[in-house]
Amino acid sequence: MGFAFVSSATMFGLEALHVRVETDISGGLPRFHLVGLPDTATTEARERVKAAIKNTGLQFPRPVITVNLAPAEVKKHGSAYDLPIAISILVADDQIPDSDFLRGTMFLGELALDGNVRSTNGVLPCVLLAKKLGFTAVVVPFENAREASLVQGINVHAVKTLDELAGALKDGRSLPVVEYIADDSPCDFGIIASDFKHIVGQDRAKRALEIAAAGGHNVLLSGSPGSGKTLLARSLPGILPPLSFDESLEVTAIHSVHGTLPKDRVLIRNRPFRSPHHSASGVALVGGGGNPKPGEITLAHHGVLFLDEFPEFPRHALEHLRQPLEEGKVTVSRASGTVVFPARFMLVAAMNPCPCGYAFDKERPCTCSEISRQRYRQKISGPLLDRIDLVVEVPRLPLTSFSDAEREPSSAVAQRVANARAYAQTRYAGEHIATNAELTSAHLRTHCKLDPADAEYFQRSAERLKLSARAYSRMLKVARTIADLEQTPAITRGHLMEALQFRSNLTGDTRMGS
């Protein structure tokens, strides 16, 4: 009979919080109390821990056992407390001696009834927290070992069974330390990117995607069914640069918490590509729930969010995109608290010009009335369209245009995109700006200065197109990206004209005048 505690962690949104697992064993009729605001999955740890200890060959204490998960006011979710609960019980019962190792170690893991240690979600943020709080080691399930080893400066110990861990602690043996093994193999999230060389024609759309990739801009593709909108969108990941190490850690942590981290990959190097169905709700897009989980826009962080059949999404769900498109983050408020999820993604949307899809098709007549066309377009609000930088018409090509002619591959476009981003980074040195799309008003005045004659032309054109102040700024950022693709320090009239050509309405009318 006695008292003991070990450390663990819980997740709230994407933030890991320290949890102290305290165990008291006292006399009385056998009972097992688990307190500290646990959810159902955590409460069921009582039965898993009891069976795991017995089936491991250890002795489960008979008296009254009280386990407290502190702090008590924070809701505890999931099954990652099984292992620390079991260890704290064994220490309190003197089956495992207390030690400095236990004080300086954080424990994570779910227990099977036979004592095996199963993987759990959110290990990477918890290990980062352990390092921040000064812990010298973490004990994690064997399946999570490589993920945990991404964090340098803290010893990572991986265990397969409770018996293995308890035996080492009982005998005072050192657990082996997991070393990080670099893995640069691509992670495609189940999406195979198309190559530009397989796409016939559509030079204007390809150019728009190249500009978007170079500057992190949002794109809307409008065209008849079968014109290649989806194929073009799926080619975008192939021209984007790989994630930096810091970006990779962010993306890996997000997918670790969500439970979508690929089992055969440790560090996600390729940019995410998310393509939710148009029946997705607002919560599915932005995240939420009792224990707020990230939604599609956060899973697309530092990557691409592709919304096919754009007007078919519920309008209220699309309106949730306004804040993240503007700020690169989304705030989710629930009764349990407020969570801020990162959401710096490129939006690529695809839509038909009308319900039947053939409003501007030269081969097939449109069967929609003007009222139905207008109603269809109004499914996308003006404020949301105002946040899209490039609007491109994707015409349906005649079958005679298909040939085996050599076309430029994605690798060549990707090189130009990488060069443009590198050129921009020399300009933004020390300003923590990743792409031109992130420029603020203050940055525009510094990095997007125009010649007086060009500034007057740009203002007249913006007034003719009835652009809002936001759209005006976004077009200036696009022009900055076009200049970066040419690696020219100043934005010229030609760059402005090309940027304005992409600010067309949904009819595909791009006539600007001079």
Of 359, 361, 401, 403, which Cα lies nearest the Cα of 377? Answer: 359
CB-based contacts of 242, cutoff 8 Å, min separation 6 = 269, 270, 271
Return the residue matching tokens 């009729």.
29
What pLDDT does residue 514 have? 33
| Averaged pLDDT of the chain | 89
d(CA 308, CA 16): 34
Q: Which of 474, 439, 189 is nearest to 305 (CA)?
A: 189
Rounded to an integer, what is the distance from CA 66 to the centroid of its chain?
Answer: 39
The confidence band for 416, taking pLDDT boundaries of 50, 70 and 90, is very high
Segment 18-43 shows an average pLDDT of 92
Residues 476-504 have a mean pLDDT of: 93
SS3 at position 12: strand
**Cα–Cα dist 309/303, whole Å:** 20
pLDDT (mean) for 346-362: 90
Confidence of residue 438 (pLDDT cuts 50, 70, 90): very high
163-167, 204-208, 266-270, 489-493: range with lowest mean pLDDT:
266-270
Work out the average pLDDT over 310-317.
93
What's at 155, amino acid-wise?
A: N
Name 483's Cβ contacts closer than 8 Å, sequence gap at least 6.
489, 490, 491, 492, 495
- CA atoms of 214 and 166, how far apart (whole Å): 53
Give tens-digit pLDDT for 50-109: 999 999 999 999 899 999 999 998 889 889 999 999 999 999 999 999 999 999 999 999
DSSP state of 503: B
242 pLDDT above the threshold of 60 = yes
Contact 412, 476 (CB under 8 A): no
Helix, strand, coil percentages in the chain from 3-state DSSP, rounded to 5: 40, 20, 40
DSSP-derived 3-state class of residue 385 = helix
Residue 372 burial (10 A CB sphere; 0-12, 13-18, 19+): middle
The mean pLDDT of 169-178, rounded to a whole number, is 91
**Residue 305 — very low, low, confident or very high, per pLDDT cuts 50/70/90?**
very high
Q: Three-state DSSP class for 139?
A: strand
C-alpha 323/C-alpha 22 separation (Å) is: 41
Mean pLDDT, rounded, for 183-211 = 77
Q: Are strands 15-26 and 105-107 parallel, antiparallel or unpaired?
A: unpaired
For residue 212, give the nearest of 473, 457, 502 by alpha carbon: 502
Alpha-carbon distance of 70 to 17, in angstroms, equals 10
Domains along the chain with CATH numbers: 3-171 (3.30.230.10), 196-501 (3.40.50.300)
Q: What percent of the chain has pLDDT over 70?
A: 93
**What does the alpha-carbon distance between residue 465 and residue 505 come to, in Å, rounded to a whole number?**
9
236 pLDDT above the threshold of 90: yes
Structure confidence at residue 36 as a pLDDT band (50, 70, 90):
very high
What per-residue confidence (pLDDT) applies to 504?
61
Give me 400's structure tokens: 């005679």
Segment 288-293 shows an average pLDDT of 80
Name, of 315-319, 399-403, 507-511, the range with top average pLDDT. Answer: 315-319
pLDDT surpasses 50 at 513:
no
**pLDDT-derived band of residue 12, with 50, 70 and 90 as boundaries?**
confident
The predicted pLDDT at position 508 comes to 41
Q: Is pLDDT above 90 for 198? A: no
The confidence score (pLDDT) of residue 512 equals: 36
What pLDDT score does 104 carry? Answer: 95
Whether the Cβ atoms of residue 372 and residue 355 lie closer than 8 Å to each other: yes
Q: Give yes or no for residue 294 having a pLDDT over 70.
A: yes
CA atoms within 13 A on the CB side of 501: 14
Element (H, E) at 374: helix 370-377
At 201 the three-state DSSP class reads coil
Q: Which helix (H) or strand (E) holds 351?
A: strand 346-351
CB 178 within 8 A of CB 392: no
Mean pLDDT to the nearest integer, 166-172: 92
User: Alpha-carbon distance 207 to 68, whole Å?
Assistant: 59
